Amino acid sequence: MAGVSLTNISKAYGDVTVIDGLDLSIEDKEFVVLVGPSGCGKTTTLRMIGGLEVVTGGTVMIGDRDVTTLRPGLRNCSMVFQNYALYPHMSVRDNITYGMKVRGVDRAEMDRHVADAARILGLEPYLDRRPKHLSGGQRQRVAIGRAIVRNPDVFLFDEPLSNLDAKLRIEMRTEIKNLHRRLEATMVYVTHDQVEAMTMADRVVVMNQGVIEQAAEPITLYETPANMFVAAFIGAPSMNFLKATVAGGEGGLAVVLSDGTRLPIPAGRHARFGKLDGRPVVFGIRPEHMADGAQGPAVMQAMPTAIEPLGPHTLVVGHASSGEPLTAQVDAHTAAAPDRAMPITCMMEKMHLFDPDTGQAH
Amino acid sequence: MRDPFKYIFIWPAFLVVLMVGLFPLIYSLTVSFMSMRLVPPRPPRFVGLENYVDLLASDRFWDTIGTTLFVVIVSVTIQYVVGFAVALALHAKVPGERLFRVVFLFPMLMAPIAVALVGRMLFHSTVGPVNHFFTFLGFPNLPFLTDADWAIATIIAVEVWQWTPFVILLMLAGLQSLPQDVYEAADLENASAWQKFWGITFPMLLPVSAAVVFIRIIEAFKIMDTVFVLTGGGPGTSTETLTLFAYQEGFKKFNLGYTSALSFLFLLTVILFGIVYLVLIRPQVEKRI
């Protein structure tokens, strides 16, 4: 196993530059998830590590080897593809052993590796079947089995769970995480699903338009997002953003919304936000940090347009009195109803303030 | 079954098929059991299996079968190998690949009779440019159309020239339909170009290959124009194929009963060969789909 280091990586297709000056260091045995919206460059980055895309500039290191110009087969990476990329004319056993056959590994060793992979992934009953006779989850296990037997320096996963149904996705998520624990391997995993990223990763790299917005542990991304993009991308439902101004005055430091609503900032956070007195900001608050009714000093009015009961809690979807969209997560038995104004309490110790021009967190 | 009304819609189509397809076939089968000559005109006479027995006892019949099978097997094999190779090259995006793709299809778009005429000019023993070229290189004048072995080789060469584009077209379509990610998976395993071809491309394209070769076999059995124009079956009857034999008997001698029997034996030969081919290839294809 080995770490991966990308230094000043760029990738251009003709005149279009999709990744420009990307730096990322992945530790040995680390599980890193690259996450971001479609077209953000996460898959391109993964493919550049594997050598399936040639970098336009920069250096790719795996361990202490510079692999920038090496072809994929010499990088000792295994990849699990979104569409499994199994050889349809081969049995599960042949799919798993194909790479070993190519490398001329002897029969006994191949059998041993297949037996190990089949045991770990529960594939023993299916070894002589062909991929078309397997379910999506089983196919994905075969693809993972093929990756395991390579004993690679780095495992690369390219949205491997996207084609599975929701239930299977959750099961496979856990399996891959357990596999990481068991193999103690370096894994780079690409997904557009932030829940997948948060639940699996040691470290999540949030990408947008070819740039790393933030790379941190999942809980850090959630609690202290570096900017509005990360704040909006991590967490479901997404964080609410309202235009506001920070104002001092008789009641102490407060966030004043554009409709004049005053939301006092707790004393414990004055030191951090005091310097913003008088400046315009974007007030960010997650739906789960709001509550039904007037339960404290920081209360704003909301006009619900839809009530979405989810069981453990209910989502109130509507807009603030300033007209900006707003989603609040309230008690499951809320009395809220569409088109009936209601008070919403904000937990100000959890709120975030962002620069309205740069989007960076204060 | 309970609604007879639906058969009203089926019957017109069935009758058309019956008239244009089955009736001539059945009529021809009937004629094959008769002695029927137009020149000199004689009343048809039922002779039972006599035409078939005569044919099966005729050396010329077995020679034409041999010639036809030889042309079919050799020309289709070369067409498949060359066609697949060219398709692979075009799929690999060689420079000028778009131009080649169009140019390679030209021979297939020409009428076989025109191709054969061009072939006859090219391979003419005295004025043909091919012989000029060989003479230029210091070789003797080659009897492309006048020696039995050379004539067969020339027929095969013209067949290959005309029909390889068909194989290129279908194999290229097959190649373009293959998923790209399996090749990327193989790249990560450090598979060589040959390992990727033999381990992935060839087996994944085997169903397409089987269909292409089958179509070409059936078509090649029906070879007529090329042989007719290039050699007329000669020298002697050394390059005479089954179709040409039938033509000679039917339209030169107007021996219709004998020709009909010959046609049915021809049909049987094609069916037999087709069945043998399918029996051999099917297990291989089924293993891979």
Yes or no: say if B107 and B161 are a contact pair by the CB < 8 Å rule: yes
**Domain A240-354 grouped into CATH 2.40.50.140:** yes
CB contacts under 8 A, A 28-57 vs B, are: 50-52
Q: Looking at residue A90, what is its pLDDT?
A: 93
CA-to-CA distance for A340 and A303, rounded, in angstroms? 6
* B110 Cβ neighbours under 8 A, 6+ residues apart: B162
Gap from A72 CA to chain B (nearest CA, Å):
5
Taking 70 as the pLDDT cut, the residues of chain B under it are: 1-2, 289
Across the interface, whether the CB atoms of A146 and B185 are under 8 A apart is answered yes
**What integer is the mean pLDDT of A241-255?**
89
B40 cis-preceded (ω within 30 degrees of 0): yes
Q: Where in chain A is the domain with CATH 3.40.50.300?
A: 4-233
**What integer is the mean pLDDT of A210-227?**
95
Q: Looking at residue B68, what is its pLDDT?
A: 94
Q: Looking at residue B165, what is its pLDDT?
A: 94
Query: In this complex, which of B190, B195, B203 lies closest to A89 when CB atoms are compared?
Result: B203
Q: Dmax of chain A from CA atoms?
A: 82
**What integer is the mean pLDDT of A137-146?**
92
Question: Phi/psi at B237 (nearest 5 deg)?
Answer: -120, 25
pTM above 0.95, yes or no: no
Which domains, and CATH codes, for chain B? 25-286 (1.10.3720.10)
Q: Looking at residue B5, what is its pLDDT?
A: 83
Angle at B258 between CA B145 and CA B255, to 5 degrees: 80
Name the more confident of A1 and A37.
A37
CA-atom Rg of chain B in angstroms: 24
**Domain A4-233 grouped into CATH 3.40.50.460:** no
Which residues of A fall within a CB distance of 8 Å from B185?
A: 79, 81, 85, 87, 146
Residues forming beta bridges with residue A190, ordered by sequence position: A34, A158
Residue with tokens 């079956």: B233
Angle at B46 between CA B45 and CA B50, to 5 degrees: 110
Residues forming beta bridges with residue A319, ordered by sequence position: A303, A325
Burial of B5 (0-12, 13-18, 19+ CB in 10 A): exposed
Gap from B278 CA to chain A (nearest CA, Å):
19
| Collapsed DSSP state (helix, strand, coil) of residue B189 | coil
CA-to-CA distance for A138 and A126, rounded, in angstroms? 9
pLDDT at A1 over 70: no
Q: Looking at residue B175, what is its pLDDT?
A: 95
pLDDT tens digits along A273-318: 989 999 999 999 999 999 998 888 899 999 999 999 999 999 999 9
**Interchain CB contact of A85 with B (< 8 Å):** yes
pLDDT tens digits along A81-128: 999 999 999 999 999 999 999 999 999 999 999 999 998 888 999 999
Which residues of A fall within a CB distance of 8 Å from B181?
A: 81, 83, 85
Residue with tokens 């680390």: A30
**Residue A228 banded pLDDT, cuts 50, 70, 90:** very high
Q: Over chain A, what is the mean pLDDT?
A: 93
pLDDT tens digits along A66-83: 999 999 999 999 999 999
**Interchain CB contact of A74 with B (< 8 Å):** yes
- Over pLDDT 70: what percentage of chain A? 100
Which residues of A fall within a CB distance of 8 Å from B200?
A: 87
Question: Phi/psi at A150 (nearest 5 deg)?
Answer: -70, -20
Instruction: For residue A69, give Cα distances in angstroms to A13, A58, B160, B253.
Output: 18, 11, 43, 74
